[in-house]
A and B are shown apart, each in its own frame.
Chain A
Amino acid sequence: MFWQIILGIWMSAVIVASFLYMPSTQGLGEMGRIIVYHVPAAWIAVAAYLMAMLNSLGYLRQNKLQLDRQAQINAELGTVFCLLATVTGAIWSRGAWGQYWNWDPRQTSITVLLMIYAAYFVLRSAIPDAERRARLAAVYAILAFLTVPFLVFIAPRVYVSLHPDLINVQNRSFAMDRKMLVVFLASLLGFTGLYAWMYNVQLRLENLLAAAAMKRREYDG
C-alpha cells in the first residue's frame, strides 16, 4: 500500500509540474508539454513488448507455464501503454500537423505494432489447451517481433517522417533544457513504477487463477 500512495503522489506531482514548472517548448509551444506523457508511454510499451518476446523465448527453452503467463501480461501491458502513446500522439499530431492521423511512418509502425498484438490475443483465444496455446503464441510473438525492425528502422529512412526525434543520433545530443529534462525523467520514472505495479498485480492474479484451476482439476479427477 505504501508504494501505491507514493506512486499516486509522484504522478500527481509530475502532472502539476508538466503544466506549471516546465517551460513551453521551442517551436511546438504549449503542445510540447505532451512529451511528458507521450514519450514515456511509448518507451514503456516497447520495453514491455520486448519483455514479452524474451519471456516467449524463455518459454520455448524451459517449458514453464509461468513464463507464458509473464509473456501474456507483458503483451497486455505493452498494448495498454501503446494505446496511450497512440492516442497522445494523435492529439499532438492534430495540434502540430493539423490532422489526427496522416500515416506518418511513426503512426504506421505503431499501428502495425498494435495489430501484431491484437492478432496475438486472437491466436491465444483460439486455442483452449494451455500448453499448446503457450507454445504457438510464443512462436508467433517471436516471429512477429522480428518484422518490427523493418518498420521501425527501415520505413522511417525510406519515407520522410515529420516526427521529431528526441535523441539526435548524429550530434549525440538530447534536445531538452534542464527544467524539461527533470520533469521528463520524473515522468519516465513514474511510468516505470506504474508498469511495475500493474505487472505485479496482474502476475499475482494470473498465478492465483492458474493455481485455482489446478485445484479444481485435482478435485474433479
Chain B
Amino acid sequence: MIKPLRWVKQGLAIWRKDLQIEFRTRYTYSALVMFAVTTLVTVSFAIGGFTADVEITAALLWIILFFSAMAGLARTFVAEEETGTVTALKMAAQPEPVYLGKYLFNVTILCSLALLVVPLFIMLLNISIVLPLAFCAVVLLGTLGLAGASTILAAIVSKAGAKNSLLTVLAFPVLLPLLITAISATRAALGGGLAAEVRSHLLTLFFYNGVAVVASLLLFEYVWNE
C-alpha cells in the first residue's frame, strides 16, 4: 500500500511543525550558522590575503559544509526523544511521512545555511567562479545529498542513545562518495574545468541523492518502529 500523495501531505505537516518549533527557539539554525561562520573565519584568517588554489578552496568549502551539517542535523530526532514527543509522532503518522518531513526540514535548514555561507566563502576567500551555474547546481545537489543521507543516520543515532559525535563517525563513510564527487565538481566549476566533466559529476550527485532517499524511505521503518 503505497500512498505517495498522503505521505507528502503528512510529511509537509511535519515539516511545518518542525519549522514552527525552529522559529520559536532558533537553536538548530543559530548553532549551525555559528559553527559554519567560525570555521569560515578561521580558514579565511589563516589564508589571509593570499588567494588559495581551487584545489584547496573546493575541499575547504565541503569540509565546512559537512561538519556544520553534522553539528546541526544530529539533533533532528534527539529533540523528539528529549521532549518525549516521539510516541505522539508515532501515533500521528506512518514512518515514511515522518522521514519525509524530517528530510524536508533538514533540506530547508541546510539550503538556507548554504545561501548564507557560500557567498561569504566566495567573498572572504576572494574566489572568482568560472562556471557560476554549474557551481550553484553542485552546491544545491551536494547539500540535498548531505541532508538525504544524514536524516536516517540521525534517527539511528537518536535510538543509539544519542552518543556524542556518533553521527559524524557514521555519516563520514556513507557521505564520502558524495563529498569526493562534490569536491571534484566544485574544483571543475571554480577552476574552469570542462563542462562535460562537471555534467558527469552532477549526474553522479543526482543518482546519489536518489539512492539515499529511496533507501532511507525503505529502511526508515525499521529504525523508527520498535
User: Which A positions have Cβ atoms within 8 angstroms of B?
Assistant: 60, 108, 112, 115-116, 118-119, 122-123, 126-127, 132, 135-136, 138-140, 142-144, 146-147, 150-151, 154-155, 158
Main secondary structure of the interface of B (DSSP, over half): helix
A135 adjacent to B223 (CB under 8 Å): yes
Whether B159 sits at the interface, judged by CB under 8 Å, is yes
- In the bound assembly, the distance between CA atoms of A150 and B161 in angstroms comes to 31
**Which residues of the other chain, A, contact B215 by a CB distance below 8 angstroms?**
142-143, 146
Whether B3 sits at the interface, judged by CB under 8 Å, is no
Given contacts A60-B222, A140-B156, whether A127 and B161 have CB atoms under 8 Å apart is yes
Given contacts A119-B170, A119-B172, A127-B161, whether A139 and B177 have CB atoms under 8 Å apart is no
B204 adjacent to A154 (CB under 8 Å): yes
A123 adjacent to B222 (CB under 8 Å): no
A150 adjacent to B177 (CB under 8 Å): yes
Number of interface residues of B (CB under 8 A): 31
Of A112, A139, A154, the contact of B176 (CB 8 Å cutoff)? A112
- With CB as the reference atom, state the residue of chain B lying closest to A109: B177
A123 adjacent to B219 (CB under 8 Å): no
- In the bound assembly, the distance between CA atoms of A17 and B194 in angstroms comes to 50
Q: List 12 A-B contacts (CB under 8 A).
A: A115-B173, A119-B172, A122-B169, A126-B166, A139-B156, A140-B170, A147-B177, A147-B211, A150-B177, A150-B211, A158-B200, A158-B201
Given contacts A126-B161, A132-B159, whether A147 and B200 have CB atoms under 8 Å apart is no
User: Which B positions have Cβ atoms within 8 angstroms of A?
Assistant: 149, 152-153, 156, 159-161, 163, 166, 169-170, 172-174, 176-177, 180-181, 184, 200-201, 204, 207-208, 211, 215-216, 219, 222-223, 226
**Which residues of the other chain, B, contact A115 by a CB distance below 8 angstroms?**
172-173, 176
A126 adjacent to B222 (CB under 8 Å): no
**Which residues of the other chain, B, contact A126 by a CB distance below 8 angstroms?**
160-161, 163, 166
Q: A140-B153, A143-B153, A147-B173 are in contact. List 14 more A-B contacts (CB 8 A).
A: A112-B173, A116-B174, A118-B173, A127-B159, A127-B161, A132-B160, A132-B226, A135-B223, A135-B226, A140-B156, A140-B170, A143-B149, A146-B211, A150-B181
A139 adjacent to B180 (CB under 8 Å): no
**Which residues of the other chain, B, contact A116 by a CB distance below 8 angstroms?**
173-174
A155 adjacent to B161 (CB under 8 Å): no
Of A60, A123, A158, the contact of B170 (CB 8 Å cutoff)? A123
- In the bound assembly, the distance between CA atoms of A147 and B166 in angstroms comes to 19
What is the CB-to-nearest-CB distance from B170 to chain A, in angstroms, rounded to a whole number? 5
- In the bound assembly, the distance between CA atoms of A155 and B180 in angstroms comes to 9
B170 adjacent to A108 (CB under 8 Å): no
The 10 A-B residue pairs whose C-beta atoms are closest, nearest first, are A150-B177, A116-B173, A115-B173, A139-B219, A126-B160, A127-B160, A126-B163, A136-B156, A112-B176, A119-B169
- With CB as the reference atom, state the residue of chain B lying closest to A105: B180
Of B160, B207, B216, the contact of A136 (CB 8 Å cutoff)? B160
A151 adjacent to B163 (CB under 8 Å): no
- With CB as the reference atom, state the residue of chain A lying closest to B162: A126
What is the CB-to-nearest-CB distance from A142 to chain B, in angstroms, rounded to a whole number? 6
A136 adjacent to B223 (CB under 8 Å): yes
Of B173, B181, B184, B211, the contact of A119 (CB 8 Å cutoff)? B173
**Which residues of the other chain, B, contact A151 by a CB distance below 8 angstroms?**
176-177
Of B169, B174, B177, the contact of A155 (CB 8 Å cutoff)? B177
B174 adjacent to A143 (CB under 8 Å): yes
B156 adjacent to A150 (CB under 8 Å): no
B166 adjacent to A123 (CB under 8 Å): yes
- In the bound assembly, the distance between CA atoms of A133 and B201 in angstroms comes to 36
A143 adjacent to B177 (CB under 8 Å): no
- In the bound assembly, the distance between CA atoms of A147 and B209 in angstroms comes to 11
- In the bound assembly, the distance between CA atoms of A118 and B149 in angstroms comes to 18
A150 adjacent to B208 (CB under 8 Å): yes
**Which residues of the other chain, A, contact B153 by a CB distance below 8 angstroms?**
140, 143
